[in-house]
Amino acid sequence: MGRYGVLGLLLIINIFNYIDRNALAGVSPLLKTAFQLNDATIGLLGSAFLLTYTLVAVPFGIWSDLWKPQKVAAIGILIWSLACVLTSTSTSETQLFIWRSLVGVGEAAYVATAGTIISKRFDSGQRSKMLGVFNLGLPLGAALGVVLGGMIGERLGWGAVFVIVGVPGFLLAVMAWLIRDYTPMQNPVAGFPPTEVKDKEGFDWLKLKGTLKLPYLLVVLGYIGISYCFGAVINFLPLYLTRIMHFSLGKAATKSGIIIVLAGLLGAPIGGWIADRWYVRYRGGRGFTLLLACLVSAILMWLGIGLQSTLLFGLAAFFMLWHVGVAAAMVFDTTQRLVWNSATAIAMLFMHLLGDVPSSAITGLISDQYGLVMAFNFLPVAMLIGGIAFGLSGYLQAKSEGSTY
C-alpha cells in the first residue's frame, strides 16, 4: 500500500474513532432519561472516557517507539470497537462508565501512533497539510457520531447506536495490522539515489527528556487550551441546542453535525494550507496561524452565545478547527523523530488531563448551578490561552533557527 493509501485508510479509521467517541453526545438526552442522569454525570461520562484515554496514551506511545506503531494501532482499534459494542449491554450507570473507559483505552493506542505513521511518509513541508487531511476524521467522525447517535437513537433506541457504529472497527483493525513497515528516505543528492534514514540510537528516556523543551511545552499548553474548549462544546452542543434554542433532539443532532463537519472540512485543510505556506517563509508561521485562529474563534463564539446564532457557532468552529493538523505538525517540529510517538502521547496526556477531561465535568457542574449559557461563556477564555501559547512556541522556533522573511 502506497503512502496515500495508508493516509486514506488511517483517515477512515480516524472517522470511526470519532464516531464511536461522540455517539454518546448524540444519545445523551436519551441516556439522561433512561438512567436518570443530570448534566454533571453526562459530563463525567465524557471525562471517564478521556481519563483512561489520557492515562494509557504515554505507555502506548513508548511501546510503539519500541515496536511497530501500526500493530499497536490495530490492537487499539480492536479494543475500542469491542468496548463500544458492549456499551449497548449496559443496565446501570456504573456499566456505562466501565465500557466508556475501555473505549478510551483503545482509542489512545491509535491516536498515539497514527500521526507518526503518516509523518514518516511525508516531509516537513507537507506535514501540516497531510496531518490536516488525517485529522478531518475529527469533524467528520464527531459530526457523524452526534448525528447517527441522535437519528438512530430516536428510531431504534440508544443501545442500537453503539452496536451499529462499533462493528466496522473489527475489519479496520485487521487492515491496520497489515500496513507494512516504512523507512523514511532522505532527499536525493544530485547524481545519487535517495537513501534510507537510519536511527543511530534507539529510544531512551534521556533522549526523550532532552527533546521536551520550551517550544514543545508551549505546544502542549496550546493543545490544553483548545482541547478544554472544544471537548466541552462537542459534549454539550446537542444539549445546548435542545435546551437553550429549543430544537428537537433529531434537529439538534443534525445541526450540531452540520456545524462540526462543515467547519472541519473547510477549517482543517485551509488552516493546514495557510500554516504550511507561512512556515516555509517563516519558522514561526504555524504558531502564529493558530494564534490568529484562536483569537477570531473566541470572539465569534462569544457573539454566537450572545446572539443565539448557529451561524456564528459554525464560524467559531471553523477557525477553532484550524488547529487539528497544524498543532500535530508543531509537535513534530519541536521534537526529535526518534521520540515522536512518545512526544505525541505526552502531549495527549496533558491536553486531556488538563483539557477536555475536566472541561466536560466542570461545564456540567457550572450548568447545574448557573445554567448552560453561563457555562459556555467560560470556554473561549481557555482557547485564547491556547492561542497565545501556540504563538509563543512559533516565535521561539523562529528565533532559535534565525528565521526571517
In a domain, 67, yes or no: yes
Q: What is the pLDDT of residue 343?
A: 81
Domain of residue 288, CATH code: 1.20.1250.20
Contact in structure between 366 and 241 (CB atoms under 8 Å): no
In a domain, 79, yes or no: yes
Instruction: Say yes or no to pLDDT of 187 above 70.
Output: no
Instruction: Say yes or no to pLDDT of 263 above 50.
Output: yes
Instruction: Say yes or no to pLDDT of 304 above 70.
Output: yes
At 56-82, the pLDDT tens digits run 777 777 777 777 888 888 998 999 899
How many structural domains compose the chain? Answer: 1
What letter represents residue 170's amino acid?
F
At 105-134, the pLDDT tens digits run 888 788 778 877 887 787 766 766 787 788
**Alpha helical stretches, state H, 120-213:** 127-134, 137-156, 158-166, 168-177, 205-211
**Percent of all residues in the chain with a pLDDT value above 70, rounded to a whole number:** 90
Q: What is the pLDDT of residue 195?
A: 40
Q: What is the pLDDT of residue 211?
A: 63
At 347-405, the pLDDT tens digits run 877 887 888 878 888 898 898 889 899 999 999 999 999 999 999 999 998 888 755 43
In a domain, 73, yes or no: yes
CB proximity list for 309: less than 8 A, separation 6 or greater: 303
Instruction: Say yes or no to pLDDT of 292 above 90.
Output: yes
Mean of the per-residue pLDDT values of the chain: 82
**Percent of all residues in the chain with a pLDDT value above 90, rounded to a whole number:** 26
Q: What is the pLDDT of residue 183?
A: 63
Q: What is the pLDDT of residue 223?
A: 94
Q: What is the pLDDT of residue 198?
A: 46
With cell 471537548, the residue in question is 231
What letter represents residue 347's amino acid?
A
Interatomic CA distance for residues 330 and 286, integer angstroms: 7
Q: What is the pLDDT of residue 28?
A: 81
CB proximity list for 152: less than 8 A, separation 6 or greater: 160, 161, 164
The mean-pLDDT minimum among 110-114, 216-220, 302-306, 369-373 falls in: 110-114
In a domain, 194, yes or no: no
Q: Which domain holds residue 225?
A: 3-182+205-401
Higher-confidence position of 102 and 229: 229
In a domain, 197, yes or no: no
Interior angle at CA 92, CA 87 and CA 95, nearest 5: 45
Higher-confidence position of 65 and 8: 8
In a domain, 33, yes or no: yes
In a domain, 391, yes or no: yes
